[in-house]
Structure 1
């Protein structure tokens, strides 16, 4: 870092020499990791470019549609582009998905029926899925449980891996199991994310018992972090959010589902209605943003990942426990920092907010966020509300007080915001 930059950081953000010293040491430590990330970015950029070219994308595809949206060429062709990128038979990419959980829920409700059993093999799924599944609740809100879908859960091993032996035993003993839910990212847990190699091993194990079991992957935060996606290694169905990796920081809303044609079609009937599926749905003038965001996504995802790696090393050098460590293999963009202290956790999130381009003057506070059992604090000074491909940090207010940092449209912004957050935690 040049002296002029240091002086600006000190003047504008009150960054101390101590924090700048940690930063410079961390930056040297992580630099060797970035060469591999550049190779992944280039590979995935070629993959996306080729899909655009094969589908002959032009400004014709950026058109707007109204009403029913029949024959929306931009919408229908974007489905084909996604299918090519994910190496699948079909895809459903829509602005009508309000978040990643909505896309996941459509995939689950579309493909599960009364008396079917769904198995989560990564322990308890992400918090917002609890009401979708009906975990530990007997309500009448229309959860899977309310519609007669049974649920089983398999805990991870002590090493944070899927318990394949127990999974195989469970599948052999229960013929009602129709779908296995695999959460690639850790969510609000303390474990490493699943690599594509982990997912392949799990899918292979499932298919060795019964080939008709649906292997469903919650792919949120994982797109373009490796050179393969879950569908390249046998997953039947995946879902995710367009305001995470794959929207490239440009998509203003939406989600996607991709996989085998029959499973995507069933999911489309839950997004709209049976008999209509993906044939309807006007696109509100967002198609250019969806295409442009997808084109930028391989680059933006790597910018976010670089920020996460630097954050890991900075916070570790500052004395905090982090997961993953800066030199670990990664398969998503999330960085977890364990504070073991409620006040420090809140200060860190407030620091990320203070370092944001939007609403930097606002102090985020824990609140009763819909879909969560605990209060949640969310720092997200983003151009798109809640976009976690933009730099954000959030956490449930519960022990051991872990913050989850993700996103960052530019590595330079991530660096600054992390230094602001650390300074706030250390009161420097």
Structure 2
């Protein structure tokens, strides 16, 4: 006899969980097919590039002639269908990779333009819109402009007018929602954005913030003309295995420029030791299709169960997915914080800790965050966070296994709505 993990749930919640399990099963099977497609592509590239044990040996010092690093970057370039890649542990975060890419393309007097509205909090500080920290773009005389979204969608009419500004040299597109009250942009919409910019301003470089997006669909923005794209290695592409770092993929000259900005002109991509990272970076990329699929299935379950509880969720459980993020509106800070605490309590690490809203560098409002992850700040592992501001929206993301997501989300619902 197999014991059920649901046996000690309240009867009402148990019935809701059983209903949700049956309802979402066809959607989970679709994700399994997507995982198989993406996994086949990754496997084919490992075979094509003849990855071997010696490629996992790290370099030290300057990192010259690091064959494993160069081969890994060739695999990334192949997977994303671009000229070149920069996959490095020296990037401290996705935000760092984004900043390196943008600063490498912009000069004083140039304008950075975002088609998808004002970017999320940490990038606002890089630009100089908030925080006024030294070294931001504003201090360097780099201007910023954005066309704000209209009902959560790109305002193409206004964007066409805004793009008449000839000082615009880089157009940014943020695929995931950040802390915005909108849906993440699925690839069909991103493709439309890319075609629009190419038509109106073929002279600019198009940058994609792809954090949370890799492997969440069978296509990537670089397949359709994005010039350079950034992602984090402790999100999707690292599969919870990589302990740090980020990547850039794109046109060869832009990657060379980013290499010079990350390191120094002259050395560029040629320097950068991989220390003990290469094995994890190879294995993380190999596991990324599977782990991203597990996270997406967990978020589908979260959407369905929270909606069954009467909450406003985005995206809906049966909607197309383009990242590993699920949002739930609580309308009040108390249940938001309580739900977040339950996610922490059902994490592998620091389950005894109660999350407390606090000011976090790079964010404008106090933020509540649950992250009992093996890698600090990893969001391919199950976590949730959100700014303490209306509509008191919690951003749930990740999950190394669907089983963990399912247990933790169910217990969070129980602790928030069934326990006094």
Do residues 70 (structure 1) and 61 (structure 2) align?
A: no
**Equivalence for 2:148:** 155
Q: Deviations over 1:384-409 (max 9, x none)?
A: 11110000011111111100001001
CA 1:382–1:140 in 2, change beyond 3 Å: closer, same or farther? closer
**Equivalence for 1:113:** 107
**Equivalence for 1:228:** 219
Alignment of 1:135-146 (within 5 A): 135-136=129-130, 139=132, 141-146=134-139
Do residues 265 (structure 1) and 256 (structure 2) align?
A: yes
**Equivalence for 1:36:** 30
> 8 Å contact 2:260–2:266 — kept in the other structure?
yes
Q: Deviations over 1:135-166 (max 9, x none)?
A: 156x46011111111100111121x2111222
Q: Deviations over 1:248-303 (max 9, x none)?
A: 11111110000001111111122112222121111121100000010000000010
Quote how far apart the aligned CAs of 1:209 are: 2.0
> 8 Å contact 2:20–2:305 — kept in the other structure?
yes
**Equivalence for 1:100:** 94
> 8 Å contact 2:125–2:133 — kept in the other structure?
no
Q: Deviations over 1:175-215 (max 9, x none)?
A: 11111110000111121111111111111111112322111
CA 1:136–1:349 in 2, change beyond 3 Å: closer, same or farther? closer
Alignment of 1:382-397 (within 5 A): 382-397=373-388
Matched residue of 2:6: which SS?
A: helix
> 8 Å contact 2:230–2:247 — kept in the other structure?
yes
CA 1:140–1:374 in 2, change beyond 3 Å: closer, same or farther? closer
Do residues 337 (structure 1) and 331 (structure 2) align?
A: no
Do residues 287 (structure 1) and 278 (structure 2) align?
A: yes
Alignment of 1:48-67 (within 5 A): 48-67=42-61
Paired with 1:347 and 1:136, the residues of 2 have a C-alpha distance of: 29
Quote how far apart the aligned CAs of 1:3 are: 5.2
> 8 Å contact 1:354–1:420 — kept in the other structure?
no
**Equivalence for 1:47:** 41
- Aligned residue pairs total 419
Q: TM-score, normalised by structure 1?
A: 0.95
Matched residue of 1:215: which SS?
A: strand
> 8 Å contact 2:86–2:248 — kept in the other structure?
yes
Q: Which runs of 4+ in 1 moved over 3 A?
A: 1-4
Matched residue of 1:81: which SS?
A: helix
**Equivalence for 1:326:** 317
Q: TM-score, normalised by structure 2?
A: 0.97
* CA RMSD of superposed structures (Å): 1.4
> 8 Å contact 2:300–2:317 — kept in the other structure?
yes
Unaligned runs of 5+ in 2: none
Paired with 1:283 and 1:322, the residues of 2 have a C-alpha distance of: 41
Matched residue of 1:319: which SS?
A: coil
2:165 to 152, 174, 181: 174
Matched residue of 1:404: which SS?
A: strand
Paired with 1:209 and 1:142, the residues of 2 have a C-alpha distance of: 31
